[in-house]
Copies of this chain bind each other. A is one copy, B any other.
Amino acid sequence: VRFRRFVAGAIGLALLSGCATVEPPAVTGGAAAPPTLAYRIAQSLTTEVGPRLAGTPREAAARDWAVRTLKDLKFTHVRVEPFTFQGWVREREEAAIVSHGNQALAVAALGGSISTPKAGITAPVAFIASYDDLLLAPPGAYAGKIAFVNDRMKAARDGSGYGIAVRKRSRGAIEAAKRGALALVIRSVGTDNTRFPHTGNMNYDKSVKKIPAAAVSNADADQIERLNAMGMPVQLKLTLKTRAVPNAPSGNVVADIMGVEKPQEIVLLAAHLDSWDLGPGAIDDATGVAIVTAAALKAAGPEMKPKRTIRVVLYGAEEVGVHGGDAYAKAHASDLKNHVMATEADFGTGRVWRFASKASAADLPFFDSVAAGLRDLGVERGNNESSGGADIAVLGKAGVPIVGLTQDGTTYFDYHHTANDTLDKVDAAALEQNVEVYARVARAFANR
């Protein structure tokens, strides 16, 4: 209730004054919280809803929050497009180095992992330096052991270290099981040096025995690595309890600012509403929600009368398999030809530094001109091979023109998928640069 007053008050002032910079009553966090609309949206979602794992009542609460918030902000046709998926929840997770005094490890089950037996799995560690080494090992190499894969992710502005590092999380359990391992434990896919384990989705293969899979924090992985380097055999105990949730409910929240000339033509701004369960998902992806919501309003201007419809889609169940992205594409299959552009914000709050695209040859000059209009914000022109992001990639494949606005992800993987992804990690100034970039892009396409 109080939030409605906050945000509605803020945007009300914005509408009256014709600008989106407003001065509502200050809410202080650790640092003084900047009072911009985008910051307030991220603050409200992370503080009032908090963690919101897909398929759980917390994601449902996030949808309720989103519907309320978008209505308060004068979006129209605000609705939930429901779907279900195969859900998963963690119930208990423990790990310890038992060979050296029962040292508890900071551990997180990977999303989708099966449970261990109730008494846990206690076994020697097969120390595997990297996922590539795992792939090179022969069948049976890890029989009776817990496979520990140690490679460390490299930080990069474009997040390019993630793709390589995430292979062990995504397919490590399959490849370790093929080689006889009892369980998989990985060094977290993340660039911090803390004791926060990073969770994230993992996969099984129908033809390979399922084994439990978990990540330990980087600092805990260091501990295992050091013992190994000292020549000391390491024994781990791993206990996971997880639960599959068949037909878990989720949904995409869709909201429009109707176009006045070509209302059927849609400029789509995407982010995802769900978060991992370990933390409140500030940079993944409350700030994405904040960026696209604030940018849509800014693009529409105080009159709220763009030529084409500006649509915000807050996707459900992204983290756990991009189910929302698939659901939207399916529900709107017949209408995708009317989507004139789609873009997504799902990489934290670093400043946008690159405008990539996926446009037809005929359309490229227009895309180039939009990119050129972002130069004063520090944005360079990228290539024309952008996927756009997890939720909208399916749209791009179906022919929807894509803009990929690359944010600076240098520190993104310090917090991503951890308990430590909290509001204080948000760079408020960079958040506003994002809003301005997304707003200019949305405005250009909406009023083309």
> Are B420 and A194 closer than 8 Å at their CB atoms?
yes
Inter-chain contacts of A196 with B (CB < 8 A): 194-195
Binds B, one of A69-77, A228-236, A348-356, A367-375: A228-236
Contacting A230 at CB < 8 Å: which of B27, B230, B279? B27
- Let me know if A113 is at the binding interface, CB within 8 A: no
Given A2-B230, A279-B195: A222 and B103 within 8 A (CB)? no
Inter-chain contacts of A230 with B (CB < 8 A): 2-3, 6, 27, 47-48
> Are A2 and B231 closer than 8 Å at their CB atoms?
yes
Residues of A within 8 A of B (CB): 2-3, 6, 27-30, 33, 43, 47-51, 57-58, 61, 97, 100-101, 103-104, 106, 152, 193-196, 218-219, 222-223, 225-227, 229-232, 279-280, 419-420, 422-425
Inter-chain contacts of A61 with B (CB < 8 A): 101
Complex CA–CA separation, A394 to B58 (angstroms): 54
Inter-chain contacts of A48 with B (CB < 8 A): 100-101, 227, 230, 232
Cβ distance A314 to chain B, nearest Cβ, rounded Å: 17
Inter-chain contacts of A231 with B (CB < 8 A): 2
> Are A193 and B419 closer than 8 Å at their CB atoms?
no
Inter-chain contacts of A3 with B (CB < 8 A): 230
Contacting A222 at CB < 8 Å: which of B106, B225, B422? B422
Complex CA–CA separation, A99 to B399 (angstroms): 45
> Are A223 and B47 closer than 8 Å at their CB atoms?
yes
Complex CA–CA separation, A193 to B414 (angstroms): 13
Q: 18 new A-B pairs (CB below 8 Å) besides A30-B218, A47-B227?
A: A3-B230, A27-B229, A28-B225, A29-B222, A30-B225, A33-B226, A43-B226, A47-B223, A47-B230, A48-B230, A49-B100, A50-B97, A50-B100, A51-B103, A103-B280, A194-B194, A195-B422, A223-B280
Closest to A106 in B: B419
> Are B97 and A152 closer than 8 Å at their CB atoms?
no
Cβ distance A108 to chain B, nearest Cβ, rounded Å: 13
16 A-B pairs (CB sep. < 8 Å)? A2-B230, A28-B225, A28-B226, A29-B226, A30-B218, A30-B225, A43-B226, A47-B223, A48-B101, A48-B230, A103-B280, A195-B419, A195-B422, A219-B424, A222-B424, A223-B422
